Amino acid sequence: MDLHEAIKGRKSCRAFLGRPVPDEALQRVLNAARLAVSVENQQPWRFIVVRDEEKKRKLSQAVTKGNFLNSAPLVIVALGMEEASPALVGGYMLSYPLDVAASIQNFLLAATADGLGTCWCTDFKEDRIKELFGIPEGTRVVGVLPLGYPDPSNNGAHNGDGGRRSFSEIVAYDNFAW
Ligand SMILES: Cc1cc2nc3c(=O)[nH]c(=O)nc-3n(C[C@H](O)[C@H](O)[C@H](O)COP(=O)(O)O)c2cc1C
């Protein structure tokens, strides 16, 4: 699939078919995440692939309205290594959330290109997820990402470009013009 088709075709998926994700497809989307840009190439991301049904169930309970995660054959917990990421963005922001976000966006687009659906979830109880997987201090949960084949009968279609703002609302030339 062409990159622009994947960008336009991606949408959050909240219902999945029971069909398993082939290992090669999983490797492809994780590899896309691995190849993302990061500050000083620090790559402060880690991914836990959750296939165990009981762990998936407990994980879904740590996510607000997370019951739909149980319909996905696997769920990925995306982590950021806070300790390994001292760099400040513009002198005011730690860089690791941006790096992990870039990696997750690669993941979302690669999944789309493979015909897979996913949904970046951040409305979770981090302490419960850290306890469930033994995630140490200094490592933060940045996203919970179910992965599977979308159930076409239970996922609403995007209208047009998905309710995005128009160009003039977000782009200005030579000045801050809003
Ligand atoms: C950082 C981030 C956090 C999000 N958190 C959640 C979430 O906790 N639960 C959820 O169902 N969707 C979540 N979403 C999905 C957004 O609701 C969705 O991307 C947005 O409504 C646009 O829809 P689309 O992804 O279908 O284009 C999140 C998206 C982003 C980028």
| Nearest Cα residue to atom 11 of ligand 1 | 121
Domains, the chain: 3-150 (3.40.109.10)
Once rounded to an integer, what is the mean pLDDT over residues 154-169?
84
pLDDT given at position 85:
79
Percent of the chain whose pLDDT exceeds 90: 89
* pLDDT of res. 83: 83
pLDDT of residue 86: 73
pLDDT digits (tens, 9 = 90+) for 3-20: 999 999 999 999 999 999
List of E strands, 52-174: 74-81, 88-89, 93-94, 117-118, 139-148
Kindly report the protein residue whose alpha carbon is nearest to atom 16 of ligand 1: 12
User: What is the 69 CA–ligand 1 centroid distance (Å)?
Assistant: 14
Q: Is 12 a pocket residue for ligand 1 (Cβ < 6 Å)?
A: yes
Residue with CA closest to ligand 1 atom 6: 121
Contact assessment for residue 19 and residue 149, using Cβ atoms and an 8 Å cutoff: yes
Separation of CA 117 and ligand 1 centre (Å): 13
| Binding site membership of 121 for ligand 1 (Cβ less than 6 Å) | yes
On the CB side of 33, CA atoms within 13 Å amount to: 24
In this structure, which residue's CA is closest to atom 18 in ligand 1? 12
User: Ligand 1 atom closest to Cα of 158?
Assistant: 26
Q: Give the confidence band of 162 by pLDDT, cuts at 50, 70, 90.
A: confident
> How far is the C-alpha of 19 from the C-alpha of 150, rounded, in Å?
9
Write the pLDDT tens digit of every residue in 73-119: 999 999 999 987 777 899 999 999 999 999 999 999 999 999 999 99
Query: Which residue is closest in CA terms to ligand 1's atom 5?
Result: 121
Q: What is the pLDDT of residue 159?
A: 67
What is the distance in angstroms between the CA of the first residue and the CA of the last residue of the chain? 36
pLDDT class of 1 with cuts at 50, 70, 90: confident
pLDDT band at 121 (very low <50, low <70, confident <90, very high): very high
